[in-house]
Amino acid sequence: MADALPPTDDTPRERPTTLAAQDRTTEQLDVRELHEPIIRERADPRDGYEPVPMWLVTLFGVLLFWSGFYLSRHAGDFRADVLDEDPAVLRGAGAAAEGPVDPVVLGEKLYKANCTSCHQRAGQGVPNQYPPLAGSSWVTGNEERLRLILLHGLQGPIEVLGKRYEGNMPAFGQRLSDERIAAVTTYIRQAWGNAAEPITPGSVALSRDANQKRREPWTAAELENVKPPPAPTPPAEPAEPDTTDEGK
């Protein structure tokens, strides 16, 4: 049998399997390929770390936006002379002994804080939405009608200066005292060219007491011929004793 020939340069040889060769092969791999399986794996959920539902996030966002809008329209610029329950704040510090505050001054502050968003600063209202107060007989006419609207609100259609409006008027009886309702009604009856008599806190108190069971807003039809409640009869003074026969 012939002897085996020695390998020549053209004869294929086995690849080395040394550690150095394996290291060189590993370095040629893409790092991203090594991390892709790890990235695809998600961490196990833990109690208390559940994701917030998107509908709840949306709800909180809407509430936050509405709250900011409401405060910007009805906060009265956060002025003490509007938000403070004591009208003496309008007179300034150390002026408590100067007498009662001017109802027109107080009424103007209350109007700007509570009414301008609908009836506007000049009382012109908003076309097709909120009726005007300037030149309106609903303001300068029947006092009892105006007091009841402020106390309990107004709903349904109403005709003002020949135009029909459908907007609703909120009630202020639970938010404003008799003095403040009298002040704001007095102001609108004397502003923007209106020239009507002021409304007193006592008359507001009578209207409130006479309709204390009222819970729903009034309608224009109900207020057409409304009359003020009668004033309470003052108690009779005790008769003086007859002394003509004394000393006889």
**Which domains does the chain carry?**
67-89+99-210 (1.10.760.10)
Spatial distance between the Cα atoms of 69 and 9, rounded to a whole number of angstroms: 88
Q: What is the predicted pLDDT for the residue at 208?
A: 93
Distance of CA 160 to the CA centre of its chain: 27
Under DSSP, is residue 120 helix (H, G, I), strand (E, B) or coil?
A: coil
Please give the C-alpha separations between residue 116 and each of 7, 46, 145, 177, in angstroms, as whole numbers: 106, 52, 21, 19
**What pLDDT score does 19 carry?**
54
CA 68 to chain centre: 8
Q: Name the packing angle between helices 178-190 and 201-210 (round to 10°).
A: 120
Nearest-angstrom CA–CA distance, 188 and 203: 17
Spatial separation of the C-alpha atoms in residues 40 and 31, rounded to whole Å: 15
The angle formed by the CA atoms of residues 9, 14 and 17, to the nearest 5 degrees, is 135
- Residue 18's CB is within 10 A of a number of other CB atoms, namely 9
The tens place of each residue's pLDDT in the chain, 248 residues long, gives 455 555 555 555 555 555 555 555 555 556 777 777 777 776 666 666 677 888 988 998 999 988 888 777 666 666 555 555 555 555 554 544 555 778 899 999 999 988 988 899 999 999 888 999 999 999 999 999 999 999 999 998 999 999 999 878 999 999 899 999 999 999 999 999 999 999 999 999 999 999 989 889 999 999 988 888 776 666 666 656 656 655 54
The Cα–Cα gap between 231 and 228 comes to 9
